[in-house]
Amino acid sequence: MDNRPIGVFDSGLGGLTAVRSLRQILPEENLIYFGDTARVPYGGRSRETLLRYARQDVRFLRTHDLKAILIACGTVSTTSLTTLQAENDLPIVGVVEPTCRRAAAMTKNKRVGLIATLASVRSGAYEACLARIAPEVQVFAKPCPLFVPLVENGRIHPGDIVIETVAREYLEPLLETGIDTLILGCTHYPLLSEIIGSICGPGVTLVSAGEESAFELKRLLKARELRADPRRAGTAEFCVSDRVEDFERIASLFLQEELRHGARRVDIEQY
Amino acid sequence: MDNRPIGVFDSGLGGLTAVRSLRQILPEENLIYFGDTARVPYGGRSRETLLRYARQDVRFLRTHDLKAILIACGTVSTTSLTTLQAENDLPIVGVVEPTCRRAAAMTKNKRVGLIATLASVRSGAYEACLARIAPEVQVFAKPCPLFVPLVENGRIHPGDIVIETVAREYLEPLLETGIDTLILGCTHYPLLSEIIGSICGPGVTLVSAGEESAFELKRLLKARELRADPRRAGTAEFCVSDRVEDFERIASLFLQEELRHGARRVDIEQY
């Protein structure tokens, strides 16, 4: 048994949906979350800048005695995961490969849809990963640039004409391609799964990025005998690099639970 | 006569609406625009960071032989204008004070509305400026966080249920306060003036931030005999700090004209 915490980081607060999955799947584990809210979004940055940011994020998290790290950021997962794994002597799980493995396992007609931010779609990361692990799968990608701001403004409720109109515009052309599986390739999107699911209908299986990473981490901790005492209740601690004032409102939205305490501000440039 | 160019900068591309106003109001002037798209938004940054960014923006622009600078960024205008003016031997015009002067001159019932980003509303910059120049004016502020992403995704057309629903939600509570003048306190918002105007009705005068700065600059150039030859046609040059690929699409939207050539990328951290 190993009761040391798991570190989780993302460019912003979207990765909190991965924290939510971790708390459901590994309720006995302690979690430390870092959201780089001062430098969000990572999407448009150069590879060098991304690696520098990711190294700082990891260095800060490792000021705690961690047993594993989950990278809840798609951009870092695809550009810097291998380097970070080589540089750090603890298990690090990304967000892209577990998701692609799940999608490849779920699709029957080998037609998989991908919705994500413009930067993630452009990076081609999910396509590249699927081409490697399941070359028979065809990927149909659709950037959904308004989903992140709409989610962050709380527009996640079925019946809201704004989010429903935007979601239908994004999804209907994608559904015409005949996909039977849809990757929600952005950590904000699980909050829209009810709306997305009702537009896609029962014939399309939704695969959420953060959730698959949480399952992957569970398997990995079990294999290495790093699981925490199952009788304990895990805690969660939250750190951000920008102002903490908005944290509680947005975090409650992402975690779908009331927070007991707020976030701590970290000067990430110092790491 | 002075045919040297005018520098304009903003944290992103919103300041292009000020370029549009400048091209209408001062068509003979050459313009050089810098949009700090790699570090947008400035809103949440500390004062020290903002001043550092603003100094870099000015230093880059001044690698050209400029006769004046227009700061199209509300955040920089309110936090760093005085310092930048003291450090530079050329006229620098901000975006907040000219707008407040205009609003104070237009309002009859002394009730002025302000719509802006959350960061701008929080800064209290427009309220502080109005309190100084027109203490009898009461300000009613409403943050409109979804306007920027909606505008950047081209949702500016009357009849679009998404922008119209969001705009009504933001504006109707503000209109209940009885304002007769509304400051569009964000450089993105002039693109929504048709939608905002039709919701507010003829009883509310709209005052656009970028436009008032352009008029202020015109007065200032005239007073100092710095106007360009009125028979010439001014040019415009565009620089950004992040990827240039999206520039043309978004810039055409903001400028409401087709661009003849794209933007140049600048490594702003070197300045």
Closest Cβ–Cβ partner in B44, B149, B150 for A38: B44
In a domain, B62, yes or no: yes
Q: Are residues A90 and A192 in the same domain?
A: no
Phi/psi class of residue A242: alpha, beta or left (left: φ > 0; alpha: ψ in -120 to 50)?
beta
- CB contact under 8 Å between A166 and B161, yes or no, is no
Mean pLDDT of B234-240: 94
Residue A153 sits at φ, ψ, to 5 deg, of: -100, 15
What is the spatial distance between Cα B180 and Cα B200, in angstroms, rounded to a whole number? 9
Residue B1, domain member (yes or no): no
Tokens of A46: 């150069």
B107 and B77, same structural domain?
Answer: no
B89, B121: one domain: no
Cα–Cα distance, B243 to B241 (Å, whole number): 7
Residue B193 forms part of a structural domain: yes
Domain-embedded: residue B136: yes
| Other beta carbons less than 10 A from residue B39's beta carbon | 18
A131 and A190 part of one domain: yes
Q: What is the nearest CA distance from A135 to chain B, expressed in angstroms?
A: 30
- B85 and B144 share one domain: no
Q: What is the pLDDT of residue A49?
A: 86
Residues of A in contact with B148 (CB under 8 A): 149
- The pLDDT tens digits for B25-76 are 999 999 999 999 888 888 767 788 889 999 999 999 999 999 999 999 988 9
Contact A233, A28 (CB under 8 A): yes
Please identify which of the residues A100, A144, A186, A239 carries the catalytic annotation: A186
Tell me what percent of the residues of chain B surpass a pLDDT of 90: 79
Neighboring chain A residues of B44 at a CB cutoff of 8 Å: 37-38, 242-243
What confidence tier does A44 reach under pLDDT thresholds 50, 70, 90? Answer: low
User: Chain A closest CA to B162's CA: distance in Å?
Assistant: 5
Catalytic residue among A73, A100, A129, A239: A73
Mean model confidence pLDDT for chain B: 93
Q: Does the distance separating the beta carbons of A161 and B146 come in below 8 Å? A: no
Stretch A27-56: mean pLDDT: 89
Q: Minimum mean pLDDT among A70-74, A167-171, B146-150, B254-258: which range?
A: B254-258
The residue from A187, A209, A231 where one domain ends is A209
- B138 and B177 share a domain? yes
The pLDDT tens digits of the residues spanning B94-137 come to: 999 999 999 999 999 999 999 998 888 988 999 999 999 999 99
Tell whether A225 and A201 lie within a shared domain.
Answer: no
* Lowest-confidence segment of A249-263, B120-134, B160-174, B234-248 by average pLDDT: A249-263
Q: What is the pLDDT of residues A200-259, one digit of tens each?
A: 999 999 999 889 999 999 999 999 999 999 999 999 999 999 888 778 888 888 888 777
Contact B22, B31 (CB under 8 A): yes
- End residue of a domain, out of A179, A209, A239: A209
- Is the N-terminal amide bond of A190 cis, ω within 30° of 0? no
Choose among B17, B8, B25: nearest CA to B93: B8
Nearest chain B Cα to A161, which residue? B162
How many CB pairs below 8 A link A and B? Answer: 36
With CB atoms and an 8 Å threshold, state whether A243 touches B165: no
Q: Are residues A143 and A132 in the same domain?
A: yes
Please answer whether residues B260 and B235 qualify as being in contact, where contact means their C-beta atoms are separated by less than 8 angstroms.
Answer: no
Minimum CA–CA partner of B162 in chain A: A162
- The fraction of chain A above a pLDDT of 70, given in percent, is 100
Q: Mean pLDDT over residues B220-225, rounded? A: 95
Residue A131: is it exposed, middle or buried by C-beta count within 10 angstroms (0-12/13-18/19+)?
A: middle
Res. B140: pLDDT tops 90: yes
pLDDT at residue A157, as a whole number: 96
Helix (H) or strand (E) holding B197: helix B193-200
**Interchain CB distance below 8 Å, B146 and A153:** yes
Residue B102: exposed, middle, or buried by beta-carbon count in 10 A (0-12, 13-18, 19+)? Answer: buried
Contacts of B36 in chain A (CB under 8 A): none
Which residues of chain B does A38 touch, with a Cβ-Cβ cutoff of 8 Å?
Answer: 44-45
Closest partner CB to A162 (pick from B148, B165, B243): B165
If asked whether residues A183 and A196 sit together in one domain, one would say: yes
* A44/B242 Cβ within 8 A: yes
- Considering the domain architecture, whether residues A100 and A86 belong to the same structural domain is answered as no
Active-site annotation of B, residues: 73, 186
Looking at the complex, report in whole angstroms how far the Cα of residue A210 sits from the nearest Cα belonging to chain B: 24
User: Could you tell me which of A60, A9, A53, A58 has the C-alpha nearest to residue A33?
Assistant: A9
> Which of A38, A44, A149 lies closest to B149 in CB terms?
A149
In chain A, whose CA is at the least distance from the CA of B267? A46
Q: Which of A59-63, A78-82, B226-230 has the lowest mean pLDDT?
A: A78-82
As a dihedral over the C-alpha atoms of residue A203, residue A208, residue A213, residue A219, rounded to 10 degrees, the angle is -30
Is residue B127 located within the same domain as residue B204? yes
The confidence score (pLDDT) of residue B44 equals 67
| Exposed e or buried b per residue across A27-40, where buried means at least 16 C-beta atoms within 10 angstroms of its C-beta | eebbbbbbbbbbbb
On the question of pLDDT at B19 being above 80, the answer is: yes
Task: Write down the ipTM of this complex.
Answer: 0.87
How far is it, in rounded angstroms, from Cα B123 to Cα A32?
Answer: 31
Structure tokens at A72: 């809840």
Distance from CA of A205 to the nearest CA of B (A): 27
Collapsed DSSP state (helix, strand, coil) of residue B116: strand
Q: State yes or no: pLDDT of A156 exceeds 80.
A: yes
User: What is the domain range of residue B260?
Assistant: 6-94+211-270
A148 contacts in chain B (CB < 8 Å): 149
Residues of A in contact with B165 (CB under 8 A): 161-162
- Domain of residue A110, CATH code: 3.40.50.1860
Would you state the structure tokens that stand for residue A102, as one six-digit string?
């799940």
Give the residue from A167, A188, A209 where a domain finishes: A209
| Distance between B83 CA and the closest CA of chain A, angstroms | 24
Which residue out of B48, B52, B146 would a mutagenesis test of the A interface target, given it has the greatest number of A Cβ atoms within 10 Å?
A: B146
Q: Is residue A11 part of a domain?
A: yes
Confidence of residue A25 (pLDDT cuts 50, 70, 90): very high
Q: Classify residue B238 by its DSSP letter.
A: E
Whether B195 contacts B219, CB under 8 Å: no
Which residue among B152, B153, B162 places its CB closest to the CB of A162? B162
How many domains would you assign to chain A? 2
Separation in Å, CA of B246 to nearest CA in chain A: 11
Q: State the DSSP code for B14.
A: T
Mean pLDDT score across all residues of chain A: 93
Same domain, A160 and A246: no
State the Cα–Cα distance between residues B34 and B239, nearest whole angstrom. Answer: 5
Q: What local confidence, expressed as pLDDT, does residue A31 receive?
A: 97
3-state DSSP call for residue B68?
Answer: strand
Residue of chain A whose Cα is closest to the Cα of B244: A44
> Residue B220: CB partners within 8 Å, gap ≥ 6?
B68, B91, B93, B226
